[in-house]
Chains A and B, each alone.
Chain A
Amino acid sequence: MDLSNEKLIQMYRTMKRIREFETKAAELFAEGRIPGFVHLYIGEEAVATGVCANLKDSDYITSTHRGHGHIIAKGGDLKYMFAELFGRETGYCKGKGGSMHIADADRGILGANGIVGAGHNIAVGAGLSAKYRDTDQVCVCFFGDGSTNQGTFHEALNMASIWKLPVIFVCENNLYGISMHQSRHQAIQDVADRAVAYNMPGVVVDGNDVLAVYEAAKEAVDRARNGQGPTLIECKTYRHRGHFEGDPTVYRDEEEVKEWLQKDPIPRLVEFMLDNNVVTEEEIKKIDEEIAAEIKEAIKFAEESPFPPVEAAVEDIYTDIVEEVRS
């Protein structure tokens, strides 16, 4: 493995930033300070982190309703993310998108998405664009196991494979499409098996092992950059929380949850780093403190930011037309 200590620490930092962001988001939501829905990424941090550690700012990602982790791993700013969750003018989307629609074109983040499976085809378009413009950009399409039953999954993988597009399809198999266990929503255990139908590599990795995810993604990203086409990577993982905050999770038993909590990706990376003398416990503690301070600062920024003026509701629909306001 060619991972430098610096890279490992960077990945730890990313995973921990996601974990702390999501933990705070859960608290704020429970306190009624964040409106709408939130779908948290806690437990799945190794996937976004291991994949995005292979990407450049100019590369693209498409994300999902459970998108905070992807945005953070692709370099999103926690201040603007929290501000968006709070519906403030300073948020990534000026308060018009909320949790499910955070995007940052400057970092190639083509948006979280509220429609399950909608990102697949957009990722193909971004991949086509990269190839058309003759750049070495790639696009990573993140999605869950549930979305692999949408027609868009088939359309997109087919199109990406016939045109050999630089797209990496990353399935976060967290075992459930909302309440429906994978065994009830598809007759296969490995989503990666479906890659055969598109004549592309299908890889299964332990999605709670950030090093394994990093390696698999590296190979796929290299293939994509070299013009060898798309890859389907399936990361076996688990969401610690419900589908959304407030989900009573009656559909899964405590034993299963306990078993997966043992496989928490963050302590696993910490153990690896300590065992291999990458960092000391003191250094980890220092990183954690820095992240806690960053989160605190980001929430302060969000809460102190103004709400958008109501007239902003009619702006940004078109580049050149502002709709009429209520008279």
Chain B
Amino acid sequence: MSEKKLMKGNEALAEAAVRAGCKCYFGYPITPQTEIAAYMSKRMAKSGGVFLQAESEIAAINMVYGAASAGVRAMTSSSSPGVSLKSEGISYIAGCDLPCVIVNVQRGGPGLGGIQPSQSDYYMAAKAGGHGDFFMIVYAPGSVQEMADFAVRAFDTADKYRMPVMILSDGLLGQMMEPVVFPEITEKAPEKPWACVGHENKRKHNIVNSLYLVPEDLENSNRERFKKYDIVKAELPEADCYLTEDAEIIVTGYGASARIARSAVNAARAEGIKAGLIRPITLWPFPEKAYADTVDRAKAYLVVEMSMGQMVDDVRLATSCKRPVEFFGRTGGVIPKPSEVLEKIRELDKKYNKA
């Protein structure tokens, strides 16, 4: 087994990306993700890759667009306002069916917001990453170990489906240190016969393009892409279920919120409340089955987020609105306390279970 290292989430993600074969990193500094860029600036040159601090987030995502067109494993990272800037580029990348990895270490918003941890970019990641008919795959790490593991997985998944993949983290996971063991890299990046790397007059030239002036052509392209999305939806959804087997009050949240919710679930269990936790690992595709499997036993669901409640609708859909879905959240950079979540669990237990 490889050695445990004590690292920040941001650094662990960056190191794992390099090990996964990321050869181009383009970024622009913003708190709380700057450690990714700082780490890459030291590490990339040594690993034979390119680190480039772009003049803006928009430039960085378009550099990723270029590198991905040439079949290179490329990544950019930013925090909330910076990811807004990248959204045009992300749409182009999706429209060209290019694989790449985009990291969002979320901070409070809207606007310039604040620099403390937040989860208010769920909609932007899972629903509306940019203009047009497209989705990106979204992974939500819940620990420093997963910051590393999911960086590797993100590159593999991006190449497999030729899709942009977002790692949706937050300031808490990015800044905290935990022990991490770097995963063994087993999968090699697949061949990319579609990449624009020069045809040397030996084959027809490849075109990477998202412009279709004939409406029917664009419609066909979108329909083809959505066939691929159906495959992704069948193959990829993933959730971590904790004590859900007999749970009556199901708490659900992703990333940092799930950590806090887990502490609250443990405390609720100690009081005799049958609480459990569903932690979505993929936010798109949303792990609907994990919820559907619990609907018969559950009395109610409690969504915990560091936002005003952006995942609530997805939980309602996944449970077909068969049970009440309530929400507890803190926003603007305030981290919810386990005791606050516990109080809400007690309230739900009283309201829906003992009634």
User: Do A and B make up one complex?
Assistant: no
**Residues of B at under 8 Å CB distance from A?**
none
